[in-house]
Amino acid sequence: MSYFDAASAAPLHPVARQALSASLEEGWADPGRLYREGRRARMLLDAAREAAAEAVGCRADELVFTSSGTRAVQTGVAGVLAGRRRVGRHLIVSSVEHSSVLHSAERHEDDGGTVTRVGVDRTGVVDVDAYREALRADTALAVLQSANHEVGTEQPVAEVAEVCRAAGVPLLVDAAQSLGWGRVDGDWSVLTASAHKWGGPSGVGLLVVRKGVRFAAREAEEFQSLPAIVAAAASLRAVRAEAARESVRLRELTGRIRVRVPELVPDVEVVGDPERRLPGIVTFSCLYVDGEALLHELDREGFSVSSGSSCTSSTLTPSHVLKAMGVLSEGNVRVSLPTGAAEDEVERFLAVLPGAVAGVRERLGAPTPATAVREDALVVDALGKRCPIPVIELAKVIGDVPVGGTVRVLSDDEAARLDIPAWCEMRGQEYVGEEPADKGTAYLVRRTG
């Protein structure tokens, strides 16, 4: 079985396993106690904090361990907002942040605060000027991820940090995906990360608050699992030692996937920035494919990958990242290679993928749509059908209208609002817009050629 979902959780690093086992013998006591066992545990905790701080590039007394990366984000956002409440209650986030950031922003709004969500381009990159324009006199905090968890795009953190610093606004950086590869550049103020993203044990997060940042913790510090903390710090040091060499190797492998997948599989869009990206992540979307079915097919072939497709979500709504980018959500596959991923397994994946996609497309079929000609427009009734069926039906009938004519697709699947415009972008057709319908929504597409 080839595990290609390291962006969700990296396999436990051998150094983490060794450190976890060793520290279970010495680090079981409460490090806050003054007796011998407590002092021994305190020494282990201090050493772990020093190691983690060195990796981050901060002072040891600026770093604390939390029970998860999500808790680190929640505590970091809430702490700065509370500490700077006299300045104002305005928060800035990007539209592609991790759900933990976006949920914190929603809670802030529910509590009476205001939020500006900065958009991204089709590669997932934020505009530095957009952050500059979003800053206000009452801005308490800005948040920006170092790299995106779904598509691997790296963000201009240093440039945004400079803009925020000039305005006197702290910048919180979610470095969960990138910290294992290196320090985060720029004059940021707060940083969060999660150990299971770099091969440490789950249940350990990092929160760094630079000296001088007004911060009001709303919750008492929890007693953490000391062996897990020691293992997290040891594994972070270990993956950093391997990062320079491994990043070159994984970047070549993901670059190979980016180039060859569109050659091997028709109707595929590779998403994310082609250059400014993490070494191990590559994401692509396949037209006319049910993402969940494709993931199951790849799982049967021995590959563990993930998806941002709407059909793999319990809410049946498109990935907020893909939606913000304006790219195709259907048939979405994220390949995130772990440290040590074998080249021959990548080649096997490329050999298996075309057949897997073809099989899913064949099983879905190309349904004969219920159509009715209305003047120069063709009406496609896809009500009650989940994507990618509305897009499949659109593709089958676009040639039945003259150039300049329109197809009106009726759909009540939220994913169609993203996938139909994305299909038009890929196929060179004009997306006119949407309008209310008796049931669902009508999406208008004009044939341009």
Instruction: Walk along the chain (449 residues) and give the pLDDT tens digit of each residue.
Output: 799 999 999 999 999 999 999 988 888 888 889 998 889 999 999 999 999 999 999 999 999 999 999 999 999 999 999 999 999 999 999 999 999 999 999 999 999 999 999 999 999 999 999 999 999 999 999 999 999 999 999 999 999 999 999 999 999 999 999 999 999 999 999 999 999 999 999 999 999 999 999 999 866 555 678 999 999 999 999 999 999 999 999 999 999 999 999 999 999 999 999 999 999 999 999 999 988 899 999 999 999 999 876 554 455 567 899 999 999 888 899 999 999 999 999 999 999 999 999 999 988 873 344 444 444 578 999 999 988 999 999 999 998 889 999 999 999 998 999 999 999 999 999 999 999 998 999 999 999 98
Q: Are 241 and 333 in contact (CB under 8 A)?
A: no
- pTM for this one? 0.89
- Residue 149's Cβ-side half-sphere holds a number of Cα atoms within 13 Å equal to 29
Is beta strand 2-3 parallel, antiparallel or unpaired with respect to 303-304? parallel
CA distance 8 to 150: 9
Q: Give the pLDDT of residue 317.
A: 67
Q: What's 215-264 look like in SS3? A: CCCCCCCCCCCHHHHHHHHHHHHHHHHHHHHHHHHHHHHHHHHHHHHHHH
For the chain, the residue count is: 449
Burial classification of residue 195, based on how many CB atoms lie within 10 Å of its CB (0-12 exposed, 13-18 middle, 19 or more buried)? buried
Q: Give the pLDDT of residue 330.
A: 84
Q: Give the pLDDT of residue 290.
A: 86
185 three-state secondary structure? coil
Q: Give the pLDDT of residue 221.
A: 58
211-242 tens-digit pLDDT: 999 999 866 555 678 999 999 999 999 999 99
Q: Give the pLDDT of residue 201.
A: 96
Q: Give the pLDDT of residue 29.
A: 84
The tokens describing 417, both together, are 């609002």
CA distance 407 to 377: 5
Among residues 58, 286, 311, 387, the one annotated as catalytic is 311
Residue 311 is among the residues annotated as catalytic for this protein: yes
Q: Give the pLDDT of residue 77.
A: 98
> How would DSSP label each residue in 379-422?
EEE-TT--TTHHHHHHHHHGGGS-TT-EEEEEE--TTHHHHHHH
Q: Are 184 and 145 in contact (CB under 8 A)?
A: no
Q: What angle do CA 443, 448, 449 make, to 5 degrees?
A: 130
255-300 tens-digit pLDDT: 999 999 999 999 999 999 999 999 999 999 999 998 889 999 999 9
